[in-house]
A = this chain, B = another copy of it.
Amino acid sequence: MTRVHVWGAAGYAAGEAIRLLRNHPLLEIGALESRSHAGQALADHFPALRSTAYRFDDPGAVCARVRPGDVVIAAGGHGEALGFVPGLLAQGARVIDLSSDYRFDAAVAYGLSEWHRDAIATAGLVANPGCYPTAALLALLPLAGIVELQHVIVDAKSGITGAGRTPSIGSLYAEVAGDIRAYGLAGHRHQPEIERLLALGGVRASLTFTPHVVPLARGMLADAYLICRRPPDAPEVRDAFERAYRDSPFVRVLAQDRAPCVAAVVGTNDAELHVDVTGCIVRVICAIDNLGKGAAGQAVQNLNIMLGFPEETGLHARAFVA
């Protein structure tokens, strides 16, 4: 049994990670550190953990209890991991960081499981991808070398848990219910992350990215439109997706007559993809759970890869949050 600690344990992604760790047959839960909720019962904070007896540990608990060979899931706010991850690595722990702190660091493994298995397997530190980048990259990376691109548009729709659990007016029920809103029109943190990984993956094109919030707790649908310089061959495009995900148990390339939807993936680590080609336009639609494949699910998948477990271990049971 490998021990896994969670730093920043009171957020939505952390809660989902704890739910998954708890059901994982080869892992045990260590410290669950939270500055804001230290001492409180997780049962009062996460309804899905109601029947558990866990309590949030005090600040410093992860650092105090970590042992060589342990894994730490760092689920703090952006900017915090830079301060304490080096210390954990020095203590012999391996770390999966859910923040954006290490996603632009060329020395750190970027954890899009299906595309970076080898690097993840041997990494001491994995930068877990953002939710939008996960959906966008799953939709775009298979086409590297297959199409010659002029421009890429990603129009993404997300549930509000992507904004985290720190209270703000924009995340209140009465603000999100009944609304669809575009945001980040002047630039979103995830745009350079997508651009960097596209370039690394050999997809060369400028990107327009528009995120939206829709009235949903969990789930994300991203529509990618690839404007190609010449009409691609539709079977070849489709084949590229089937080859890319043939051995990936969590990614479903849908038959042409089935449309992707969030309900089919929410509470899971699954992604589903639709692909079609019309003239110079390739349209790829990707549905994931922003807390599943877009955060905690992928973190556990990466943990399995790091520890040499089968990729699906502990990831079969659906969550139920909303």
Contacts and interface: CB of A to CB of B under 8 A. Distances in A.
Contact of A214 (B180, B186, B210, B270): B180
Given A151-B281, A215-B215, A320 B267 contact: yes
Given A151-B281, A165-B169, A48 B322 contact: no
A91 interface: no
A176 interface: yes
A27 interface: no
Contacts of A50: 252, 264-265, 270, 272
Contact of A155 (B155, B206, B265): B155
A276 B172 contact: no
Contact of A171 (B161, B167, B276, B279): B167
A276 B185 CA distance: 9
Interface string A31-47: 00000000000011001
B179 A263 contact: yes
B320 A181 contact: no
A157 B212 CA distance: 10
A258 to B, nearest CB: 7
Given A264-B47, A283-B210, A157 B178 contact: no
Given A151-B281, A210-B283, A257-B186, A219 B178 contact: yes
Each complex incorporates copies of this chain amounting to: 4
Nearest to A276: B185
A282 B260 CA distance: 27
Interface string A213-232: 01111111101010100000
B172 A172 contact: yes
B169 A168 contact: no
A43 B264 CA distance: 9
Given A180-B262, A185-B274, 15 more contacts: A44-B258, A47-B264, A50-B265, A51-B270, A155-B223, A173-B175, A177-B177, A178-B219, A180-B219, A181-B263, A212-B223, A215-B216, A225-B225, A267-B319, A318-B318
Interface of A: 12, 23, 43-44, 47-48, 50-51, 150-151, 153, 155, 157, 159-161, 165, 167-169, 171-183, 185-186, 206, 208, 210, 212, 214-221, 223, 225, 227, 252, 256-268, 270, 272, 274, 276, 278-281, 283, 285, 287, 316-322
24 contacts: A44-B258, A50-B252, A153-B225, A155-B223, A157-B180, A171-B174, A173-B215, A174-B217, A174-B218, A177-B177, A177-B217, A178-B217, A178-B219, A179-B216, A180-B216, A180-B261, A182-B221, A182-B274, A185-B276, A208-B278, A215-B216, A227-B227, A268-B320, A318-B318
